[in-house]
Structure 1
Amino acid sequence: MGRKKQDIKVKVVCDAREKAKIANGVPARKNLILDIYNSTPDKSVLTSEWLEREIDQRLSPEKYMTEKKGQTFFEAFDEFLNKHKLSDVRKNNFRSVFRTLQRYEIYESRINYKSFELSFGTVTAETLREIEDFLKNEHVYFKEYPDIYDLMPEARTPQKRGQNTVHDILTKIRTLFLWAVNEGKTSNNPFKNYSIGECVYGTPFYITIAERNQIYSTDLSHRPQLAVQRDIFVFQCMIGCRVGDFYKMTLSNIINEAVEYIPRKTKDGHPVTVRVPLNDTANGILQRYEKSRGKDSRLFPFTSEQKYNESIKEIFRLCGIDRIVTVINPTTREEEKRPVCEIASSHLARRCFVGNLYKQVKDPNLVGALSGHKEGSKAFARYRDIDEDMKEELVRMLE
Structure 2
Amino acid sequence: MQFSGAKFVYLHHIIMAILMKGLTIFRRTTKSEGVIKLRFRLRDGRDVDLYHKSEIKADLKDLAKFEDDGNLRPKVSIYNHELKEQIDREMDAIEGAYIELCDKMDKSLITAKLFEETITKHLHPEDYIAVTKEETLLERYDRFIREGYRDGTFAEKRVLQYKGLYNELKRYLIIHHQLSILPKNFSADDLMELRLFLFEEYKYVSKYPSLYEEIKERCIPSKERAQNTVAIKLRMLQAFYTELEDRDEIDVSPFRKLGRNRRKVVMKESYDQPIYLLQEEFLTVMKTEVPETLQETKDVFLLQCAFGSRIEDFKSLNMDKIGVNIDGIPYIHYLPQKTLRNNEHKEEIEIPIMKYALEIIKKWEFKFPILKYVTGKSGYNVKIRRLLEYCKIDRDVKIFDKDSASNIYKPLYTMGSSKLCRKTHLDMLTKVQVNMYVSGHHKEGSNAVKHYSSLSLKDRFILMCAAYEQPLYKVDKELNVIG
TM-score, with normalisation over the residues of structure 1? 0.66
Shift of 1:146: 3.2
How far 1:315 sits from its partner (Å)?
0.4
1:358-397 aligned at under 5 Å gives the runs: 358-362=430-434, 363=449, 365-366=451-452
For residues 58-207 of structure 1, the aligned pairs below 5 Å read: 69-84=133-148, 85-109=153-177, 116-150=179-213, 156-159=219-222, 160-194=224-258, 195=263, 196-207=266-277
User: Quick one: distance in 2 between partners of 1:331 and 1:260?
Assistant: 44
Displacement after TM superposition at 1:73 (Å): 2.6
Cα 1:347–1:368 change in 2 (3 A) is farther
Q: Deviations over 1:38-79 (max 9, x none)?
A: xxxxxxxxxxxxxxxxxxxxxxxxxxx999733333333233
Partner AA of 1:252 in structure 2: D
Indicate how the Cα distance of structure 1 residues 333 and 119 shifts in structure 2: closer, same or farther if over 3 A, else same. farther
> 1:280 is aligned with what amino acid?
K
Note the 1:255-334 alignment, pairs <5 A: 255-256=323-324, 257-270=330-343, 271-290=346-365, 298=366, 300-301=368-369, 302-306=371-375, 307-329=379-401, 334=406
Cα displacement string for residues 197-255 of structure 1 (whole angstroms, at most 9, x for unaligned residues):
421112112102222222122222442xx211211111110111111111112222212
Provide closer, same or farther for how the CA distance between residues 170 and 119 of structure 1 changes in structure 2, counting only shifts above 3 A: same
8 Å contact 2:308–2:426 — kept in the other structure? yes
Rounded Cα–Cα distance in structure 1 between residues aligned with 2:454 and 2:187: 40
Give the secondary-structure state (helix, strand or coil) at the position aligned to 1:268: helix
Find the aligned partners of 2:159 and 2:206 in 1 and give their Cα distance.
Answer: 29
Q: Which one has more relative contact order, counting CA pairs under 8 Å at least 6 apart?
A: 1
- Deviation of the 1:133 alpha carbon: 1.1
Query: Which residue matches 2:57?
Result: none
Measure how far apart 1:135 and its partner are: 1.1
Count of aligned pairs: 291
Assess, with a 3 A threshold, how the Cα gap between structure 1 residues 103 and 369 changes in structure 2: closer, same or farther.
Answer: farther
5+ long unaligned stretches in structure 1: 1-64, 110-114, 291-297, 371-399
Matched-pair contact (CA < 8 Å) for 1:106–1:148: no
Q: CA deviation at 1:108?
A: 0.3
Equivalent residues in 2 for 1:226-245 (5 A)? 226-245=294-313
1:35 alignment partner in structure 2? none
The 1:107/1:365 distance shift into structure 2, 3 A limit, reads farther
Rounded Cα–Cα distance in structure 1 between residues aligned with 2:131 and 2:308: 56
The question of whether the paired residues in 2 share the 8 Å contact of 1:229 and 1:311 is answered with yes
1:338 corresponds to which of 397, 410, 417? 410
Aligned 8 A contact 2:184 2:250 in 1: yes
Change (3 A) 1:118 1:269: farther
Distance 1:66 1:76, change over 3 A: closer
Cα RMSD (Å) of the superposition?
A: 2.7
Residue 234 of structure 2 contacts residue 267 of structure 2 at CA under 8 Å; is this kept in 1?
no
Tell me the SS of whatever aligns to 1:255: strand
Q: Which amino acid aligns with 2:205?
A: F
Q: Distance in 1 between matches of 2:163 and 2:395?
A: 38
Q: In 2 relative to 1, CA 231–183 (structure 1 residues): closer, same or farther, beyond 3 Å? A: farther
For the pair shown, the structure with the greater C-alpha radius of gyration is 1
Equivalent residue of 1:245, what SS? Answer: helix
- Residue type of the alignment partner of 2:207: E
SS of residue in 2 equivalent to 1:121: helix
Distance 1:161 1:332 in 2: 16
Aligned to 2:42: none
Secondary structure, counterpart of 2:399 in structure 1: strand
**Is residue 2:287 matched to residue 1:217?**
yes
TM-score by length of 2: 0.55
Higher strand share: 2
How far apart in 2 are the matches of 1:141 and 1:131?
A: 13
> 1:286 offset after TM fit, Å?
0.7
Change in Cα spacing, 1:201 to 1:305, as seen in structure 2 (3 Å) is same
CA offset at residue 331 of structure 1? Answer: 6.5
